Amino acid sequence: MPKMTAMDAAISILFDEGVRHIFGIPGAGILPFYKSMKNHGKIKHLIARHEEGAIHMADGYARAINTVGVCAATSGPGASNFVTGLYTAQVDSIPILAITGQNVRAQLGREAFQAVDIAEICKPITKKTYCIKEPAMVPWVFREAFRIMREGRPGPVLIDLPLDVQKGEIVYDPEADCSLSFQAQGPSPAAVRKAIDLVLAAKQPVMLLGGGVIIAEACDLFVQLAEYLQTPVVTTYMGKSGIPYSHPLAAGHVGIQCNTRAGNKTFLESDLVLAVGVRFNDRHTGDVATYTANRKFIHIDIDPGQLGKNIMPELGIVSDAKKALSSLLEEVKKRRPAAKPSPWAAAIPEVKASLRRKMDYDNIPIKAPRVYKEINAFFGPQTIFVTCIGLNQIWSGQMQEIEIPRHYLDCGGAGPLGWDMPAAIGAKVARPDKQVVQVVGDFGFQFCMEELPVAVMYNVPFIILVLNNGYLGLIRQAEKYVYEMECEVEIWYDGVNEGRGFDFVKFAEACGAKGERVTDPGQLQAAFKRAQDAGGPYVIDIVLEQSTDCSMGVSIASIREFE
């Protein structure tokens, strides 16, 4: 039997499992892993500027092409800098393999240099963690990690590798090894029949599309079922892109922040909700009593721990979304022919058009909704958008028109500022054939901005649209309306950059990228075109009206609108 180092075996398995890119930073505690990766020569590595950037790159990469994202870091602070990214991946169901170096086994538990117990630290925010104590276990732990990340509700796994384990020599035959198989859970026939009974008995049912439908690659089946039933579709924010914006049954988002008027209105008029792949989290439901009043719920999710957690369904079904939707479609076709649109369902396009929020402002400084109007007009449906927490994300959720699944990447459950720049880099590495556009606030840009040189270094072209209002906009609005104050939320400062503080264009140029500032809404599309033609990373600093408020509320029935 062939002998090799444990890390040679690990790299062989990573490649066999489909890994072609790793994002990370080499350090003393992970160098045997890097040596094996270099010797193997078939996996491309991108060196990040911070470990948090590396794991967010792996996250964006995974979301863009429905694969496992892989990142690597050294021991101690290198490993602990993965915590935010693992939490983000866990709550959004993203399969990420985080590989960390560790001090030698004899030093574990002795407070040795950079010997933090990262496996214990990360247990609550991963599907599983390992600290491998025997070199011979390495191949089997790596194989099991891929099965765990992919099986059921996807999520991250961390593997911690003591330095002497990495150097260990083992007996391992790659030709005799293969991926560990698993079977997706399907629904019980009785549950499917009961679900269709409830749907057909309802007067005004809606289908609720969550992020789990996109993760399961089940969007086509979801839309087919909606079309057969002629049932309006509403989405969670994480479900954005799961049904084309232009589809006649697509009513919009439901939520207290990332919502559309038509989405909330349609949901509130329903008497039954067929919800697939949703968590019913607080920013979606708002006041739960209002959300659940006068309607029944069918909740389908691969994770049994989601059923009954936030709302009590009339019927809960544990199932892979694709298998459940296929079974539901098959069952309803046995019962009745394809439905004709009810007046309620047929009116969705008109309702959606009549309730669109105002976007055609000509103001200078620019009002934020106008930016999204120009984004919708200029960028085609094949564009991949990446965005993150803040008013920029909420406006994006309310106003951007997305047609294709996995062309709108957002972190929903954790909301870590700074996620979007490295995630956009990861998405572009995964999809070099696509235009990638990051939509970010001026404060969020400054969190992981150290990753911009990575895109320049590896020639990863993407566009960064900075909505620059000089405020922590979401917190400014909360302070204004909830606490009646304004405290430490303005970040423009006098004396430099025309009194606007940080100069995004100069920063881009210092990194080797290009950029420009836009102050007139009529110049936005021309700037987009220059960015598109630049051939590299391009930052557009869009100077906004400072204090524009964003529509939101505490209940989906009482959203406070601002125009």
* 3-state SS, residue 407: coil
How large a percentage of the chain has pLDDT more than 90? 93
- Structure tokens given for 278: 């949703």
pLDDT value at position 60? 98
The residue with greater pLDDT, 497 or 207, is 207
**Residue positions counted in the chain:** 563
pLDDT value at position 1? 67
What is the CB neighbour count within 10 angstroms for residue 173? 12
Per-residue pLDDT at 563 exceeds 80: no
Please provide the average confidence, as pLDDT, over all residues in the chain.
Answer: 96
pTM score, whole prediction:
0.96
Q: What are the Cα distances from residue 501, in Å, to 105, 291, 498, 525?
A: 49, 42, 8, 25
* pLDDT band at residue 196 under the 50/70/90 scheme: very high
**β-pairing, 3-5 with 169-171?**
antiparallel
Dist CA 373 CA 118 (whole Å): 45
Give me the domains of the chain, ranges plus CATH numbers. Answer: 3-176 (3.40.50.970), 189-354 (3.40.50.1220), 368-543 (3.40.50.970)
Question: What is the b/e burial string over 497-516, where b = at least 16 CB atoms within 10 angstroms of the residue's CB?
Answer: beebbbbbbebbeebebbbb
Find the mean pLDDT for residues 312-334: 97
Per-residue pLDDT at 25 exceeds 90: yes
pLDDT value at position 99? 98
pLDDT value at position 496? 78
The residue with greater pLDDT, 197 or 500, is 197
Q: Do 54 and 71 form a contact (C-beta atoms < 8 A)?
A: yes
pLDDT tens-digit profile of 105-138? 888 888 878 889 999 999 999 999 999 999 999 9
pLDDT tens-digit profile of 451-479? 999 999 999 999 999 999 999 888 899 98
Find the mean pLDDT for residues 209-213: 97
- Lowest average pLDDT, out of 86-100, 233-247, 480-494, goes to 480-494
Per-residue pLDDT at 374 exceeds 70: yes
pLDDT tens-digit profile of 261-314? 999 999 999 999 999 999 999 999 999 999 999 999 999 999 999 999 999 999
- Structure tokens given for 224: 């087919």
